[in-house]
Structure 1
Amino acid sequence: MDGPVRQLDPLVSVCIPTYNRASKLQRAVDALLASSYKNLEIIISDNASSDDTENICAALAQSDRRVRYFRHSENQGPTANFEYARSQATGKYFLWHGDDDYLDPNYIGACINELENDQSLVLVSGVAAYHRGDGNITGYGKVIQPSSDSPMLRVTKYIWLVTENSIFCGAYRRAAVEECTMPNCLAGDWIWMAEVLLKGKAKVLPTIYVHRDYGDNTSSSLRRIASTIKAPPYHARFPRTAVSLNLAGHLSAFIVNSNPSLTRNKYFIFFALFNLVLLKQIGWSIRLRIAHGRHPGTTQRPRPGAGSG
Structure 2
Amino acid sequence: MNKPKVSIGLPVYNGEKYVARAIESVLGQSFPDFELIISDNASTDATQEICRAYAGWDPRIRYYRTEQNLGAAPNFNRVFELAHGDYFQWLASDDMLAPEFLSRCVPVLDNDPTTVLCFCWARYIDEHDQPFSTCELDLRIDDPLPRTRFHEILLGWHNSFYVFGLIRVAALKKTKLILPHTHGDTILIARLSLLGRFQQISEHLFLSRHHAAQSNEIYKAEVPCGLDTEAYASWYDTQGMSRPKYPNWRILSEFNQTLDGVQVSLIDRTICRAYIARFGLRHVHCLLWDLGGLPRRLVIVVSARFLNKNYGANQRPA
Q: TM-score range by the shorter chain?
A: 0.7 to 0.9
Q: CA deviation at 1:23?
A: 3.0
Pair 1:199-2:195 in alignment: yes
Pair 1:84-2:78 in alignment: yes
CA distance in 1, matches of 2:193, 2:246: 29
CA distance in 1, matches of 2:210, 2:272: 38
Corresponding position of 2:232: 225
Q: CA deviation at 1:184?
A: 1.1
Superposed, 1:169-184 pairs within 5 Å as 169-181=164-176, 182-184=178-180
* 1:19-61 CA-partner distances (Å, limit 9, x unpaired): 0002311111111111101011000011000111111111111
CA distance in 1, matches of 2:128, 2:23: 20
SS at match of 2:144: coil
Corresponding position of 2:254: 250
Aligned alpha-carbon RMSD (Å): 3.1
CA distance in 2, matches of 1:257, 1:185: 22
Superposed, 1:15-164 pairs within 5 Å as 15-143=9-137, 144-164=139-159
AA in 1 matched with 2:149: R
* Rg (Cα) greater in structure: 2
Q: CA deviation at 1:248?
A: 2.6
SS at match of 2:227: helix
Identity of aligned residues (%): 26
Which residue among 161, 168, 175 is the counterpart of 1:166? Answer: 161
Q: Is this contact kept in 2: 1:123–1:201, CA < 8 A?
A: yes
Q: Which runs of 5+ in 2 are unaligned?
A: 286-306, 312-318
- How high is the TM-score relative to the length of structure 2? 0.75
CA distance in 2, matches of 1:88, 1:106: 25
Corresponding position of 1:272: 278
Q: Which runs of 5+ in 1 are unaligned?
A: 1-6, 236-241, 280-288, 294-309
Corresponding position of 2:206: 210
Q: CA deviation at 1:226?
A: 3.2
SS at match of 2:70: coil
Aligned residues: 267
* 1:133-168 CA-partner distances (Å, limit 9, x unpaired): 343322222413401111121011122223422121
The higher relative CO (CA closer than 8 Å, separation ≥ 6) is in 1
SS at match of 2:123: strand
AA in 1 matched with 2:174: E
TM-aligned CA distance change 1:170 to 1:270, over 3 Å: closer
- How high is the TM-score relative to the length of structure 1? 0.77
